[in-house]
């Protein structure tokens, strides 16, 4: 008899791209139709996913951490995002935890550590390095910016081998930008340059088309790698799979994930195995509740409305509509009317905590994730 629970989180995975994850759909089933993020960026969304709380200052503590609360005799977590690291408290409760480190510093990091992150000199150095990196990509092989999914899965399966009871959390960076799958239509160096151009608003029509193809390639590649995980874990494992936020692929003339309140960023894929989901609407604050089987912090088992806040903008979502400052749309983005949902948004806005903004996060972590 095994007693195993696994949380799998994916950075920047759009709701409408879960359909391309054929192996994952076969293992977990279809996505829940109305699951929503609480923010549009990883540092805030994971306060909800791990802590069951609405976003505030960055990080989580022992009172807002599902691994601390879970009673498994062995707990192992692997993060591939620097915002989900011991620096922000995400290692709490785990017997083993791996996250991107700062030990192996390249030239850029060694130079940067002698500068004040908010200084003009640091900004100039960052821009110069981007030019140098662009030249390097034309003349040498280029690595991924993030640890690949296959490595994460190998480590986790090694760590849990021969154990009958465990709680695991794996966070994957595919398909976070830069979009550069192994088997893409262009080289990894060119793919990273294309991603940089679309994010900076300098893309050609060819860039735009290729960037969307590369993003989908990242999703399909992750699905392929996950096949080994799905085959290896016990059949009775309780699994919850969810994205932290979505991604804009040119909608509203935007790429990436900023503070725009829209279905492409706030509507999420969520699928489970051996975990019952009865609620019409799910918020990320409900994830610990689903994993623990009982309400935890702000989580609910019968939610009708979900909420999000980012950079002074607010949204409310139900099973049919999304209400933002711009009005009401369906979950597919078509204009709609829902006075009750607009009233719910206004009520949430009055009492909502202010999530941390990008400018308030550590400069080195933002740069490592390609935001500077």
Cβ count near 162 (within 10 Å):
4
Cα Rg of the chain, angstroms: 20
The predicted structure's pLDDT at residue 353: 72
Looking at residue 134, what is its pLDDT? 57
- What is the pLDDT, as a whole number, of residue 351? 84
pLDDT at 370: 61
**Paired residues of 327 in beta bridges:** 324
Q: Provide the CA 290 distance to its chain's centre, in angstroms.
A: 18
Q: Would you kindly state where each structural domain of the chain is located, as residue ranges? A: 3-368
CATH 3.30.70.100 corresponds to the domain 3-368: no
Q: Listing from the earlier edge strand, what are the strands of the sheet with 35-36?
A: 267-268, 35-36, 282-283
pLDDT truncated to tens, each residue of the chain (372 aa)? 479 999 999 999 999 999 999 999 999 999 999 999 999 999 999 999 999 999 998 899 999 999 999 999 999 999 999 999 999 999 999 999 999 986 544 444 444 444 333 344 434 544 454 555 556 555 456 888 899 999 999 999 999 999 999 999 999 999 999 999 999 999 999 999 999 999 999 999 999 999 999 999 999 999 999 999 999 999 999 999 999 999 999 999 999 988 799 999 999 999 999 999 999 999 999 999 999 999 999 999 999 999 999 989 999 999 999 999 999 999 999 999 999 999 999 999 998 877 766 665 666 666 666 654
The DSSP-derived string for 70-133 is: ---S-EEEE--STTSSGGGTTTTT-SEEE---SSS--HHHHHHTTS-TTSHHHHHHHHHHHHHH
Distances 341 to 100, 262, 280, 300 between C-alpha atoms, Å: 40, 15, 15, 18
The whole-number pLDDT of residue 259 equals 79
Secondary structure string (H, E, C) spanning 23-62: HHHHHHCCCCCCEECCCCCHHHHHHHHHHCCCCCCCCCCC
pLDDT given for residue 123 in this prediction: 45
Gap between the Cα atoms of 309 and 121, Å rounded: 33
Distance CA 227, CA 220 (A): 11
350 vs 144: CA distance, rounded Å: 42
Coil, strand, or helix at residue 372? coil
Strand order in the sheet with 96-98: 96-98, 75-78, 165-172, 3-10, 238-243, 270-273
């Amino acid at each position: 008899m095994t007693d195993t629970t696994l949380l799998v989180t994916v950075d920047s995975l759009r709701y409408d791209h879960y359909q391309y994850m054929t192996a994952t759909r076969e293992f977990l089933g279809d996505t829940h139709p109305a699951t929503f993020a609480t923010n549009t960026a990883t540092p805030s969304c994971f306060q909800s996913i791990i802590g069951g709380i609405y976003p505030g200052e960055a990080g989580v503590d022992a009172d807002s951490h599902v691994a601390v609360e879970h009673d498994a005799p062995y707990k192992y977590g692997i993060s591939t995002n620097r915002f989900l690291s011991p620096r922000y408290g995400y290692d709490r409760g785990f017997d083993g935890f791996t996250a991107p480190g700062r030990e192996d510093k390249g030239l850029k990091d060694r130079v940067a550590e002698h500068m004040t992150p908010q200084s003009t000199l640091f900004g100039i150095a960052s821009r110069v390095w981007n030019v140098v990196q662009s030249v390097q990509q034309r003349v040498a092989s280029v690595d991924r910016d993030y640890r690949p999914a296959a490595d994460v899965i190998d480590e986790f399966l090694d760590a849990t081998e021969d154990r009958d009871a465990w709680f695991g959390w794996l966070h994957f960076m595919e398909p976070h930008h830069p979009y550069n799958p192994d088997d893409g239509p262009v080289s990894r160096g060119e793919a990273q340059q294309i991603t940089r151009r679309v994010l900076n608003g300098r893309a050609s029509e060819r860039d735009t088309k290729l960037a969307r193809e590369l993003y989908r390639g990242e999703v399909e590649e992750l699905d392929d790698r996950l096949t080994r995980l799905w085959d290896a874990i016990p059949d009775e494992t309780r699994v919850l799979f969810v994205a932290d936020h979505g991604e804009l692929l040119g909608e509203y003339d935007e790429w990436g994930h900023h503070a725009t309140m829209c279905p492409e960023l706030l509507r999420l894929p969520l699928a489970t195995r051996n975990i019952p989901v009865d609620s019409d609407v799910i918020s990320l604050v409900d994830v610990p509740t689903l994993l623990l089987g009982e309400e935890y912090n702000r989580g609910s088992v019968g939610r009708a409305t979900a909420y999000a806040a980012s950079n002074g903008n607010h949204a409310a979502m139900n099973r049919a509509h999304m209400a933002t400052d711009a009005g009401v749309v369906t979950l597919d983005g078509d204009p709609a009317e829902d006075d009750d949902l607009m009233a719910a948004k206004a009520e949430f806005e009055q009492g909502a905590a202010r999530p941390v903004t990008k400018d308030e996060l550590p400069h080195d972590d933002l740069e490592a994730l390609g935001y500077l």
